[in-house]
Amino acid sequence: MTSKQKLDIARQLSKLGVDIIEAGFPVASPDDFEAVKAIAEQVGNEVHEDGYVPVICGLSRTRENDLKRAWDAVKGAKRPRVHTFIATSEIHMQYKLRMTPDEVVESAVNAVRYLKSLGCDDIEFSPEDAGRSDPEFIYRILSAVVEAGATTLNIPDTTGWNLPSEFAGLIANIKANTKGAENVVISTHCQNDLGLSTANSLAGAYAGARQVECTINGIGERAGNASLEEVVMAIALRGDDQLGGLWTGVRPVHISPSSKMVMEYSGMPVQPHKAIVGANAFAHASGIHQDGMLKNPGTYEIMSPETIGLQRSGGDVGVVMGKLSGRNALDSRLKELGYELEDAALTDVFKRFKDLADKKKVVADEDLIALVNDEASQGDFMRWNLKDIQVVCGSAGLPTAAVRLEDAENDGEVVVATSIGTGPVDAAYKAIDSIVGLKVELMDYSMASVTEGIDALANTRVVVKPKGESLVENAQGSLRERTFTGTAASEDVVVASARAYLSALNKIIALGSGSGRAAKETTKTTTSLV
């Protein structure tokens, strides 16, 4: 994601009313640092009318350089926090850290002391892979960090190994056996490898945890994290009755727009049968006839779609945008949907909106979001711009593409190329390749219609990888291949495909040129955004 996209999401999380926004891993790259800093300075200072302002948190290993960068990134917020972690399970200490338990405790305590010395008073500590760690060792390290000044103890089931009763026991035991636990907040962080992250989070909260780490749509490493929407709605619906009166400050009516924004920006779709936010989660979306036999939606619905900010189809859909809508109307509708555009970007989106409105009678919110995402995912530096593309294809002959690209690094020089291919997209990509000259592999290609109707926009997403090794390290110390994602929306699938591909190539070029302005590897950075 671009910094702009991360900022949009942070602003949406603030609307949602989450207590803490874990905004990123600042040491990872200058981009990550700047994104967290911008969120701290902007969203971390936008105090709501009721006095609420989210804590902005940066993630950090226990190394001094990491900690310093994390603190520098968040300290501009009204309520800054640093979250530091080190692994405590046998397998992690032995194979990943190559440290003894004593060294691990020392490193954790030093990290907390160092943060205090920097002026950071809101300190969260996690014993990574707590779910598979020796409980006695966890009590020891947690007691030590509390004594050093940690104020939140987060308990990660890093591999999604725990069952709910087991995880509840871990939380209860930590509360009972950690010196000073009564003065700090215990937190849960549950991964979803066995599909139990929501249940584990609820069990942990019932056992005494008062912070739940989760992500929108449940995205995250591997099988993801606990889903904010599932945890929040389970507590909202059953907290009084089944969870001893637990509650959260989250405003569920912003769940659906938040889910859509994260889906668009991260490129991580949710399945149709995803709880709460999936396309089929409410009966009305899966073709159930509203005026049919069932007069009471409560027979199969335990909450109404409106609760989470989703309009029941056929009902009041609010403002309808069309060809007569002006620039201001577009701007205010986008703001309602959570998207704040700068002037130049708004001009671009408005132009494309008008083109679209000429072809479609009603432009839906989903169309607007697709256009904004197309704009937002382009990055700041685009060397190559698609001027024209023409394709001939079909079953009868050789798919052939001609493209005209404009080169921003050479005074807008226009270059033309043609190619054949196995299909129209292959032909177009080969023609683009012959101009741009980068060697990449296509890792993934997908497309979906944005709304119903054959005249709908097609949202296209490609993931490419530069040929040859290009590895980046994540917070957990593992290496992964650097990939680049491009997305685009158009009524023409071939145009959308070409734009998406160019967007990904331009990101590689921006990074390669050393400016790093637009380049972001797709290592699912949103994971840590909630």
Query: 287: alpha, beta or left, given left = phi > 0 and alpha = psi -120 to 50?
Result: left
Nearest to 250 by CA among 52, 58, 79: 52
For residues 274 to 313, the per-residue mask of contacts with a copy of itself, x marking binding by CB under 8 A and - elsewhere, is: xxx-x-xxxx--xxxx--xxxxx-xxxxx-----------
Helices 255-266 and 365-376: crossing angle, nearest 10°?
A: 40
Are the C-beta atoms of 476 and 25 separated by less than 8 Å?
A: no
Query: 140: alpha, beta or left, given left = phi > 0 and alpha = psi -120 to 50?
Result: alpha
CB of 18 to a copy of itself, least distance (A): 18
For a copy of itself, which residue of 471, 512, 513, 515 counts as binding (CB under 8 A)? 471
d(CA 477, CA 413): 43
CB of 37 to a copy of itself, least distance (A): 27
Q: Which residues of 170-198 are buried (b: 16+ CB within 10 A; e: fewer)?
A: bbbebbeebeebeebebbbbbbbbeebbb
Measured from the CB atom, the residue of 101 and 269 that comes closer to a copy of itself is: 269
If binding means CB under 8 A, how many residues of this protein chain bind a copy of itself?
122
Measured from the CB atom, the residue of 294 and 438 that comes closer to a copy of itself is: 294
With binding defined as CB under 8 A, does residue 510 bind a copy of itself? no
Question: Beta strand 152-157 with 185-190: parallel, antiparallel or unpaired?
Answer: parallel
Measured from the CB atom, the residue of 115 and 202 that comes closer to a copy of itself is: 202
Question: Beta strand 211-213 with 471-473: parallel, antiparallel or unpaired?
Answer: unpaired
CB of 177 to a copy of itself, least distance (A): 21
Touching a copy of itself, residues 165-204 (CB under 8 A) = 165-166, 192-196, 198-200, 202-203
Kindly list the distances between the CA atom of residue 352 and the CA atoms of 110, 363, 365, 456, in Å, as whole numbers in the listed order. Answer: 54, 11, 14, 14
Measured from the CB atom, the residue of 163 and 329 that comes closer to a copy of itself is: 163
CB of 71 to a copy of itself, least distance (A): 26
For residues 349 to 388, the per-residue mask of contacts with a copy of itself, x marking binding by CB under 8 A and - elsewhere, is: ----------x--------------------------xxx
For a copy of itself, which residue of 99, 118, 172, 243 counts as binding (CB under 8 A)? 243
Q: How many CB atoms lie within 10 A of CB 285?
A: 15
For a copy of itself, which residue of 73, 120, 431, 456 counts as binding (CB under 8 A)? 456
Q: Which stretch binds a copy of itself (CB under 8 A): 113-121, 248-256, 316-324, 444-452?
A: 444-452
With binding defined as CB under 8 A, does residue 247 bind a copy of itself? no
For a copy of itself, which residue of 174, 233, 246, 489 counts as binding (CB under 8 A)? 233
- Residue 414: its H or E element: strand 413-420
With binding defined as CB under 8 A, does residue 424 bind a copy of itself? yes
Measured from the CB atom, the residue of 318 and 477 that comes closer to a copy of itself is: 477
Touching a copy of itself, residues 97-136 (CB under 8 A) = 129
Question: Beta strand 440-449 with 185-190: parallel, antiparallel or unpaired?
Answer: unpaired
d(CA 180, CA 350): 56
Burial of 507 (0-12, 13-18, 19+ CB in 10 A): buried
For a copy of itself, which residue of 44, 220, 257, 379 counts as binding (CB under 8 A)? 220
403: helix, coil or strand?
Answer: strand
Touching a copy of itself, residues 59-88 (CB under 8 A) = none
Letter for the amino acid at 253?
V
Are the C-beta atoms of 510 and 484 separated by less than 8 Å?
A: no
Are the C-beta atoms of 429 and 501 separated by less than 8 Å?
A: yes
Measured from the CB atom, the residue of 46 and 407 that comes closer to a copy of itself is: 407
CB of 378 to a copy of itself, least distance (A): 16
Letter for the amino acid at 304?
S
Measured from the CB atom, the residue of 344 and 454 that comes closer to a copy of itself is: 454
CB of 166 to a copy of itself, least distance (A): 6
Measured from the CB atom, the residue of 16 and 93 that comes closer to a copy of itself is: 93
With binding defined as CB under 8 A, does residue 163 bind a copy of itself? yes
Measured from the CB atom, the residue of 12 and 198 that comes closer to a copy of itself is: 198
Q: Which stretch binds a copy of itself (CB under 8 A): 21-29, 330-338, 339-347, 420-428?
A: 420-428
485: helix, coil or strand?
Answer: strand
CB of 423 to a copy of itself, least distance (A): 4
